[in-house]
Structure formats: C-alpha cells, structure tokens
Amino acid sequence: MTDTADNGNRMTGAEIVLRALKENGVEHLFGYPGGAVLPIYDEIFQQDDIQHILVRHEQGAGHAAEGYARSTGKVGVMLVTSGPGATNAVTPLQDALMDSIPLVCLTGQVPTTLIGSDAFQEADTVGITRPCTKHNWLVKDVNELAGVIHEAFRIAQTGRPGPVVVDIPKDVQFATGTYVPPSEALASKSYTPKVDGDLKAIQAAVELMATARRPILYTGGGVINAGPEASKLLRELVELTDFPITSTLMGLGAYPASGKNWLGMLGMHGSYEANMAMHDCDVMVCIGARFDDRITGRLNAFSPNSRKVHIDIDPSSINKNVRVDIPIIGDVGRVLEDMVRLWRALPKKPEKAQASEWHASIETWRARKSFSYKNSNDVIMPQYALERLAEATKGRDTYITTEVGQHQMWAAQFFGFEEPNHWMTSGGLGTMGYGLPAALGVQVAHPEALVIDIAGDASIQMCIQEMSCAIQHNLPVKIFILNNQYMGMVRQWQQLLHGNRLSNSYTEAMPDFVKLAEAYGAVGMYCDDPKELDEKIAEMIAVKAPVIFDCRVANLANCFPMIPSGKAHNEMLLPDEASDEAVATAIDAKGRQLV
C-alpha cells in the first residue's frame, strides 16, 4: 500500500463505522444515543448519506429495524449505547433470531481499559447477546473494525438470516486506524452456508410429488426470506402441480390469499381445511418452515400417513421436531428453481384424476367455514372490524404489522395477503410491543405506502412511547386497536385452562387513546358502532398523519378455530362447536400442565 492510499484510508473508529455502513448499502439507521456511542453520533451529525431515526427506547430501534428489514429484504441496522442500551436491545435480537430477520446491531461499550471493572453503564454485551444472536463480536483493535462490520453484514444476510451484534468500545471509536473496503475484508472460512440443494434429492422429491394422491405444500418464512423471486417460483410450482398450499404465520403473502389453491394459514389458529389436509395428506412438501409446536399440535399425531419433503437452508432444522423422508438443504429460491425445472421435465405428469378425491375432501372441509363468526348490529365484532379494514385497503400498497395476541391471529385469518414482504408480525418469540416500532421501520422504507399496525389494547401500551418517534419523523402510521379491554389471548387461555378465573388479564385503568394520540401530536379516533365503522376507517386512511384508532370491539370474543393443547390437527375446536361447555372441557388435565 502506498503512503497516499494509506492516508485516504486512515480515519477514526467512528469514521470507519459510518464508511462501513455506507459501503454496505445502509441508508437508514435506527438508534438512541448515549455516552459510549457519542463519537459515532458525532460522525452521524456530520454527514447526510445515512438518515438516523431517533426512537424512544432501544427495543423500538430493534423492532423498527426488523420491520424495515422484513419489508425491504435488506439488512436492518440499529445503534445503541452500552449497558442499558444493549440490554434493552436483547428482546428484538431474540425476536429477529427466532424469525430469521437480518439485523446488524452496533452497541457502544466502555473503553477497553475499563472493561471488567464494573464501569458506569458497563454490561457484558457479547456475553448477554451470545445466545440471542447468530454471531457477535467485541472489537478491541480499531484496525479490525471495518472487517468485522463487513463480516457482520455478510453473516446477518446470508444462509439463514439473523441478528448480529458488533460491540465497539469508546476508545476504539476515537482511535485512528485503517479502513478496509468490503472487497478486501477477510471472510471467515468456517462460515460457508450451502445454498444449492442436492439435485438427486430434489429429483427424488419431484418423483414422490408426482405419485401423490393427497399432496400439500406447507410453506413458511423461508420463502419470504429467499426474496421475491422465490415467491414467484412458488406460485409457478403451485400452478404446475395444482397442489393445495398452506402457510405458517411467517410465510403469509408468498402465495396470494386469493389464489385458488390457497387453504389459509395452518396451525393452532389456522383454518380447518389447512389442518385437516395436513393431517390426511400422503405427501407433504415443507418449504422454508420449521415444524414449530404451534404448527404441529401433538407431534405423535402429526400427519401420520404422509411422506415428507423438507426444504430448509439450515441443516439443524431438518429432523429437529419431525422426521422427514427427503431433506433438501439449500436456499428455497434455488431449490424451487430446480424443482420447477425438474417437474417440467417429468416424462409423465400425474393425471388430473389422481388427486380429484383429495380436492373434493378439501372442499368439504372448506365448507365448514372455520373462520365464521356471529356478527352483531350493536357491537363491533373484532373479525368484522378486520374484514372491513381489509376491504377498505384493497388496491392500495398496504403493509400490515401486528402486536401479539388475539388481534394478531384474527389479522392473519382475515386480512388476506397477496404479496410477500407486506406482513410483519412477531411469530417465534411472540413479542408484545412489536407492531408499532415495526410499522415505523416499514414506513421509513416505504414513505408513500399505507402502513397499519393492527394492535390490541394491551400490546400497544408496551411500546407506545414510539408515537413520539412517529411524530418527529413524520411517519403517518395507522394504529388500529381492537380494544376489548382485556389481554384477549390471556383471557381466552384462562377460560380454556383455568376455570375462567381471569387473573390480572383485565386492564382496569385504560388510557383514553384519543387523548393519548392528541397528547403526542397525532390524530385520535374512536368507534364503537358497527354502522359507523366503514366511514371512520376511510377517514383514518385519508389522514396524512399518525393515527391511533380506538376500535371498541366485543369484549369476550374468542379466537377460533383452535387446536386445543394436546390435540391433533383433526381435533380442532370450531367456532360453531365452541359452546361454553366445549370450551371449558377442551383441554384435559395433561394438556393443562403446559400451554
């Protein structure tokens, strides 16, 4: 390296951070300043390429970065200070780990000389975040900083995506070192994710699929993570094979809800037809999903007569919960490409009649209308509210985020997603408080789009402080609260499991959400009359500012259908069968021990 070139690459650690972010394509950064990151914030102040979005709590920064990542397919980036800044980031890190969301979290750390001395705002950040990240680093040498940040971006977004943490002591931010561009950074040799599936296994899968009389495609978040092209290929595969398709909560939108082969979501609150088809199928093709316990129900009764194909980029997902017959390790997009090609090349395609009985069975199950509910003229039913919301947003570029609970399941059941990357929800970790900051992240990435956080009255209060962030950054997100005055899902479980003793699940002191919105400088709306709902929803959508919509719904509505604890897919509790007695006895003593 010549002297001049060297001089151009000599800079402080804080400058290295900003340059590395820029060269990794970062345009937005979600964060909160503090003592141990002040040098980096000083650099942020002196540049215009990267926009910093100031949140009100580090958890908000993490979920906003997640929403940003999930709606764009890019890496979400957050910046927080040492100690409490880092510990507040733990929840979104674990959330991103469980939902496989690419996230780079930069944390400040006390100066290297003070590490281990119980210094002010010191925490063992790499120790605390080790189990909730894909990988993490403490950078003690400024000359390694650029390389580590580049590697952090590579690891976060390749293979099975996930969160990473780079912990940067304050003295390293001040120190002068050499910047290395991404092209010259050393990639760790031990990390080489496999993206191409084994062609023999894919061929075997295609041959098995061709013999199926009762096939089903069971898809998940892996399809979304593999990029828009993977969703296109999935649609093509469905078109070619005419297989019925269901999806996990995480995978909604990869196949359109309006598509003719769509069975609806599967699992604990999935549709009757999806779960029955999973139970009775003879060939199951799992694409980028992981046989989670909310999906399988009782494992020893899970799809007992099927041969199973499992496509996943993470080898540890294979045979973890359910043993499969044909594992295919690789990127869903690449594998689907091969699968579509090999299906086209089949010497003899299966006859239409081969699966005709199967399609007839599915129609019988579908006719049970498992998402039906009894509507009312006097109170707004939560399902009705979501149907009307979905109707009002049709034809618009709409992104939905949710909090966690009944409203989340109803949103998944009733909204009907047509495109990937338009549905952001905390699936694996089930983080209440996710929806509002995630919506902010989505709105930052898509300033012109309609972004709605479908919320519950309890969840929304977990990160309500981010209203302030919405106002500051002109992010006109719409918060649609299904307000039933209860922690609805907790109450539903108490009814099912604990003799309807509603221990601490009623919120006795609810804020006035309209005034709360106004206090933040946003618009507050209220509706408790089904006849006024459409008009008010239209008004909410028209407002060019953040809105909190307090939608008062029936207090005691339950979320059905449901696979009660300890039951199999074909033992669902359907809404028309869910009498008080059936609900009270749905879960036996053994099932009560664990949720």
Residue pair 174/115 in contact by the 8 Å Cβ criterion: no
Q: How far is the CB of 319 from another protein (least distance, A)?
A: 6
User: How far is C-alpha 14 from the chain's CA centre?
Assistant: 31
Active-site residue (options: 43, 58, 337, 387)? 58
The H-or-E segment that residue 105 falls in is strand 103-109
Q: How far apart are CA 542 and CA 354, in angstroms?
A: 50
Amino acid at site 225: N
> For binding to another protein (CB under 8 A), which residues are involved?
126-127, 130-131, 134-135, 138, 155, 188-191, 268, 293-294, 296-304, 314-316, 318-323, 563, 565-566, 588-591, 593-595
Which residues face 101 on adjacent strands?
A: none
Q: Which is nearer to another protein, 28 or 135 (CB)?
A: 135
Give the CA angle between residues 127, 129, 134 to the nearest 5°.
Answer: 120
- Which residues, at least 6 apart from 365, have a Cβ–Cβ distance to it below 8 Å? 272, 273, 276, 277
Q: 10 Å Cβ neighbour count for 565?
A: 20
The catalytically annotated residue of 47, 120, 357, 515 is 120
Q: Distance between CA atoms of 529 and 550, rounded to whole angstroms?
A: 12
- Does residue 302 have an active-site annotation? no
Q: In terms of CB distance, is 519 or 582 closer to another protein?
A: 582
- The closest alpha carbon to 451, from 469, 465, 437, 431, belongs to 437
Q: Closer CB to another protein, residue 468 or residue 565?
A: 565
Respond yes or no: is residue 120 known to be catalytic.
yes
Q: Which of 489, 525, 562, 572 is catalytic?
A: 489
506: helix, coil or strand? strand
Helix (H, G, I), strand (E, B) or coil at 151: helix
Q: How far is the CB of 189 from another protein (least distance, A)?
A: 7
Between CA 117 and CA 25 the distance in angstroms is 37
Catalytic entry in 23, 27, 74, 121: 121
Alpha-carbon distance of 384 to 404, in angstroms, equals 19
- Smallest separation, CB 135 to another protein (Å): 4
- 149 vs 21: CA distance, rounded Å: 8
Radius of gyration, alpha carbons of the chain = 25
- ω into 102 cis (within 30 of 0): no
Q: Which is nearer to another protein, 120 or 191 (CB)?
A: 191
Give the residue among 97, 96, 82, 80 at the shortest CA–CA distance from 41. Answer: 80
CB distance 449 to 427 below 8 Å: no
> Of the two residues 8 and 304, which places its CB atom closer to another protein in the complex?
304
Q: What single-letter amino acid sits at 297?
A: G
Crossing angle of helices 272-280 and 356-366, rounded to 10°: 150
Which of these, 450, 453, 446, lies nearest to 426 by C-alpha position? Answer: 453
What tokens appear for 466 in the block? Answer: 């981010």
CA 213 from chain centre, in angstroms, equals 33
State in angstroms the smallest separation of the CB of 177 from another protein. 19
Cβ-based nearer residue to another protein, 63 or 214: 214
**Residue 58 is a catalytic residue:** yes
**Cβ atoms of 356 and 214 closer than 8 Å:** no
Catalytic residue among 15, 151, 170, 413: 170
CB of 469 to another protein, least distance (A): 33
For the chain, the residue count is 595
Please answer whether residues 450 and 389 qualify as being in contact, where contact means their C-beta atoms are separated by less than 8 angstroms: no
Q: Which is nearer to another protein, 61 or 152 (CB)?
A: 152
How far is CA 199 from each of CA 233, 236, 338, 554, rounded to the nearest angstrom?
A: 17, 19, 8, 53
Q: What are the catalytic residues?
A: 58, 120-121, 170, 489
